[in-house]
Amino acid sequence: MDVSGALYQDKKGPSGRALVGMIVGRIWVGICLLMTAGYLSEPIFAAALLSLLSAAVAMPIQPIAKRWQASPLRGIPRAVVAVVLFLAAGLVMGASVSPEQIAKSREAAAARASAEAAEAQKAEIRAASDKAAVAKVDTEKRTLAMQGFYNGVVNRMTPCDEAGGKISKVAKGIQSGSADVYDGFAAAKETETACQQSYMEVGDLEIPEALPDEAQAKAEKALQVCQNAALAKKMMGQSAQVLFDGDTRPSKLSEFQENGKLGRAGVYACLGSLMEVATAAKVDLEALAKPH
């Protein structure tokens, strides 16, 4: 008969019971050995000795096992002895711990719990701080990218706008006698050239990769809108040249006025589309015109 199975069966028991007894006995021995190690760490030697005896009784070492198998201390009686020894070890452990030790142990446990909670809170604060720092860096990148894009468009459109404004000033000067049609023709020609240059430069402007996808799509549209504004002002300059060259037919005057309206509306549309890009990029509109 297997010695490890003797704890829960007798000689006449079936082999199945022997297998169960062997498994349970070994589990019991493992528990006892773990408890023994714990008692030794305190150290409480009496409890450790009792726990070790419980393990020895549950699964005795050969050849002692053969003699125990033939003795009255076998089967169920031996299991009872092992359990009693195990419980006795626990009682010795409890009796060996003073109220002061219990209090200190509880204080230590509370201190550890408090330290762990404080560390967890610090970790949360660090994580939140890191997240805020990343968000701040992302906001700064988007803001700088949007400022660069906005100022890039405005700076390229400015020569066209300034040249177009000269036509109105020269026209008023002709009425007052301070300018003539040659001044007007030169202003109109300058408008055509400047707005053609603006049209090309705005079209060559690159969209910043730091902008979100939605903002990049709106930026692409904004460039087209601003190019259309430059093109309308270029056509206004061409119409003005015809007028200053002496062709003042109503159809030519109407063409000049229509192109002028399209140019002015195009400028407002250009600025509005840039505002839409900033909104999609979640950038403060007031920050657009700031130097960077």
For residue 107, what pLDDT is reported? Answer: 75
Q: What is the pTM of this model?
A: 0.55
User: What are the Cα distances from residue 127, in Å, to 21, 118, 120, 131, 135?
Assistant: 54, 14, 10, 6, 12
- Answer yes or no: is pLDDT of 210 > 70: yes
Lowest-confidence region among 135-144, 184-193, 203-212 = 135-144
Average pLDDT over residues 227-231: 96
pLDDT tens-digit profile of 4-42? 444 444 444 445 655 666 676 677 677 777 677 765 666
pLDDT tens-digit profile of 113-159? 777 777 777 777 666 655 655 555 587 888 889 999 999 999 999 99
For residue 280, what pLDDT is reported? Answer: 92
Name the pLDDT band for 58 (thresholds 50, 70, 90). Answer: low
- Answer yes or no: is pLDDT of 277 > 70: yes
- Percent of the residues in the chain that have a pLDDT greater than 90, as a whole number: 41
Average pLDDT over residues 192-221: 94
- Percent of the residues in the chain that have a pLDDT greater than 70, as a whole number: 61
Q: Which residue ranges form the domains of the chain, and what is each CATH number?
A: 3-98 (no CATH), 135-287 (1.20.1420)
For residue 184, what pLDDT is reported? Answer: 92
Helix/strand/coil (H/E/C) assignment for every residue in the chain = CCHHHCCCCCCCCCHHHHHHHHHHHHHHHHHHHHHHHHHHHCCCHHHHHHHHHHHHHHCCCCCHHHHHHHCCCCCHHHHHHHHHHHHHHHHHHHHHCCHHHHHHHHHHHHHHHHHHHHHHHHHHHHHHHHHHHHHHHHHHHHHHHHHHHHHHHHHHHHHHHHHHHHHHHHHHHHHHCCCCHHHHHHHHHHHHHHHHHHHHHHHHCCCCCCCCHHHHHHHHHHHHHHHHHHHHHHHHHHHHHHHHCCCCCHHHHHHHHHHHHHHHHHHHHHHHHHHHHHHHCCCCHHHCCCCC
Average pLDDT over residues 270-287: 90
Average pLDDT over residues 175-193: 93
Mean pLDDT across the chain: 77
One-letter amino acid identity for 142? R
- Which comes out higher in pLDDT, residue 109 or 249? 249
